[in-house]
Structures are given as structure tokens and as C-alpha cells.
Amino acid sequence: MHEMSIASNLMEIIEKALQDRSVARVLSIKLRIGELRAVEPEALRFCFQILSQGTLMEGAEMKIEDVPVKACCHQCKSQFPIKDFIFLCPNCGSAEIEPLSGNELDLVSLEVEENEDH
């Protein structure tokens, strides 16, 4: 289950981002995850929930934006969504395509509650 390692890495990134801030807790986390990453959102939420117990991130809401796979054809220059993981241009049939999106795994934003003494 690669969701556990993703959740662990996500926590490290968040801890590093918050290290110089006076934060009481993390309220929400927004992610963009591309279809090619094959991440199961509920499994990622579960792993994050387990790993975040006892940390500033415990109880944080995880919002996930799914990013579909899109590509550009080198032959006819058209841009199109990839359906059913068929990596051929639907206009000319070429396999010379370049993915434009769908491989993202981005932490977009954090909503935090600041400590009141700052």
C-alpha cells in the first residue's frame, strides 16, 4: 500500500513547512493528485489519520482534487483527455504523445489554527 508512504512523506513536508510557525493545529490539507499516481483517496485518508495521531495534524480534513490525464499529440498537435489508459491520439492514432497532466502529487494548501500567544 503506497498510500502509507505518501501519508508519511506528506507529514514530513507539513512538519517542515510549519517548523518556524506557532501553530496550534492543522485544520485542513488540500492535495492535487493525478490519475496516473493510482492513489486510493480513502486509503490515503485512513493512513494519514493513523499516522497523524498525537500530532498537530490529528483530525485535519484532507481535501483531494483529482487531476485527470491529458496529453498532447506530437503529430497533429491536438490536446485530449486520456481515457481507459489508452495512450494513443484519438484524432490521428499516433502513439507519439506527451502527458500534460495526471502525474501530479501536490500539497496545494494548509489551513491552520495559530497559537493564541502569537
Q: Which amino acid is at 97?
A: I
pLDDT for 1 equals 58
pLDDT for 78 equals 96
pLDDT for 58 equals 96
- What's the number of CA atoms in the CB half-sphere (13 Å) around residue 46? 8
Distance separating alpha carbons of residues 84 and 75, to the nearest angstrom: 21
pLDDT for 118 equals 55
Pick the CATH number of 2-67+102-114 from 3.40.50.360, 3.90.170.10, 3.30.2320.50, 3.50.30.10: 3.30.2320.50
pLDDT for 20 equals 87
Residue 110 near residue 40 (C-beta atoms within 8 A): no
Q: Output the tens digit of pLDDT for each of the chain's 118 residues.
A: 599 999 999 999 999 999 988 999 999 999 999 999 999 999 999 999 999 999 999 999 999 999 999 999 999 999 999 988 899 999 999 999 999 999 999 999 999 998 886 5
Q: What does pTM read for this prediction?
A: 0.85
Where are the chain's structural domains?
A: 2-67+102-114
- Cα dihedral sign, 16-105-27-114: positive
Pairing, β 105-114 against β 61-67 = unpaired
